[in-house]
Amino acid sequence: MSPQARLVLNPRLCDRCGRCLSVCPLNALRVGRSYIMVDWVRCDGCNKCVSACKAGAIKAVGGASQTPRARSSAAVSAAGKKAAPHRATKPVKRKRPYEGFEWSLLEAAATLSVTFSAFMAKEAFTASKTLLAMPTEVLVPIRIGVLAIYYALQVALLRWLIHRRDGSFAEAFGLGRLGTNVAEKFRSIGLVAAGLLGTRVIATVYGLVTRELGLTPQAGADTVTRVFGTAPGGLLLAVIMLVFIGPFVEELVFRGALLRGLQTKLGVWPAIVIQALLFAAFHRSWWLLLPMTVLGIALGWLAHERRSLWPAIALHALYNALSVAAVVWVVVAGGVGRS
């Protein structure tokens, strides 16, 4: 865009396809349910968003009296009025947030607090003497039900936090995009494969070394079968919970709200490391602390690098799938007594 041209924004025409966000090289755009926002300090007038917007919601017209960088930040609401100025006085820094929705530190703290409280309540309930005194046929369904409630509570909280800001799940977690072209999608797949290989190799080497040193790692099979039992139905539920639902919800919490909220105040790498440590701590095993921190860092970097949670969800699911497959193998081979 030349200094004589300016962007005209019409949120009413916007279908929130996200194309403009993908092509903006300076991360100068935000698009929400009823607004399109341009950070004029960042915007260098390249006009790529205009070309990308097929709906005609962003247009370039001539006659501006000032260059974009000379203007203050501004937003255009659905009513066509200027909204409150958007703070962006620092030089361009490509933070690459998800589309149109940035988590605040307060929202991250609220998510962590509720998740932690729910986690402690779940652990206390499932370890209670009354529950443990029940027969296995009753105990296993209750444990699975409690786990389902635990996940549902987190999703409900995230949903509420997003909706109170008029956002959507897709934009809050970058679930609407998997890369702008085929090459990007293949890059995501390659990074997931590399991440799986790297984290699994580290976990395996770590397991071998700790065993050589005489440390007794917690048996994964025991942990899984204690909750889900060894019956085929229980193992199927283990797959559903641990390979699909668990990784999805945990990614929403740790690499979604928490990472993004921390990142706004602390920067990318401190946020990645802190959420990884918290993620590892939630596994409540000193032995798992190192491999889970490594996995958390890999997942955090992946979510940040790809600007989408899908690759992190895929890596987390595949990582868990290998663990669950090993448990099923042990059970089928008769290594764990049937309960």
What would the x/- binding string for ligand SF4 be over residues 58 to 77, using CB under 6 A? x-------------------
Using CA atoms, how far apart are residues 69 and 39, in angstroms rounded to an integer? 9
| DSSP bridge partners of 35 | 77
17 binds ligand SF4 (CB under 6 A): yes
Q: Which of 5, 52, 153, 237 binds ligand SF4 (CB under 6 A)?
A: 52
Using CA atoms, how far apart are residues 15 and 136, in angstroms rounded to an integer? 52
31 binds ligand SF4 (CB under 6 A): yes
Beta carbon of residue 309, minimum distance to ligand SF4 (angstroms, whole number): 19
Burial degree of 209 (CB within 10 A; 0-12, 13-18, 19+): exposed
Beta carbon of residue 202, minimum distance to ligand SF4 (angstroms, whole number): 39
Residues 70 to 109: which contact ligand SF4 by CB under 6 A?
none
19 binds ligand SF4 (CB under 6 A): yes
57 binds ligand SF4 (CB under 6 A): yes
Beta carbon of residue 89, minimum distance to ligand SF4 (angstroms, whole number): 17
46 binds ligand SF4 (CB under 6 A): yes
Rg of the Cα trace of the chain?
23
Catalogue the E-assigned strands of 32-109.
35-38, 58-62, 74-77
The three-class DSSP label of residue 76 is strand
Beta carbon of residue 78, minimum distance to ligand SF4 (angstroms, whole number): 12
Secondary structure of 92-152 as H, E, C letters = CCCCCCCCCCCCCHHHHHHHHHHHHHHHHHHHHHHCCHHHHCCCHHHHHHHHHHHHHHHHH
Beta carbon of residue 30, minimum distance to ligand SF4 (angstroms, whole number): 10
Between 8 and 193, name the residue whose CB sits nearer to ligand SF4: 8
**What amino acid is encoded at 221 in this protein?**
A
| Torsional sign, CA 305, 306, 311, 313 | positive
Between 16 and 306, name the residue whose CB sits nearer to ligand SF4: 16
Residues 181 to 200: which contact ligand SF4 by CB under 6 A?
none
Using CA atoms, how far apart are residues 28 and 93, in angstroms rounded to an integer? 10
Q: Which of 5, 14, 76, 324 binds ligand SF4 (CB under 6 A)?
A: 14
Beta carbon of residue 55, minimum distance to ligand SF4 (angstroms, whole number): 4
The phi and psi torsions of 40 (rounded to 5 degrees) equal -70, -20
Give the chain's largest Cα–Cα span.
Answer: 79
Question: Measuring CA to CA, how many Å separate 172 from each of 121, 255, 307?
Answer: 27, 11, 11
Between 52 and 276, name the residue whose CB sits nearer to ligand SF4: 52
Which stretch, 27-35, 115-123, 203-211, 263-271, contacts ligand SF4 (CB under 6 A)? 27-35
Between 78 and 336, name the residue whose CB sits nearer to ligand SF4: 78
Using CA atoms, how far apart are residues 157 and 137, in angstroms rounded to an integer? 31
48 binds ligand SF4 (CB under 6 A): yes
Beta carbon of residue 231, minimum distance to ligand SF4 (angstroms, whole number): 49
Between 176 and 207, name the residue whose CB sits nearer to ligand SF4: 176
Residue ranges binding ligand SF4 (CB under 6 A): 1, 14-20, 23-24, 26, 28-29, 31, 36, 38, 43-49, 52-53, 55, 57-58
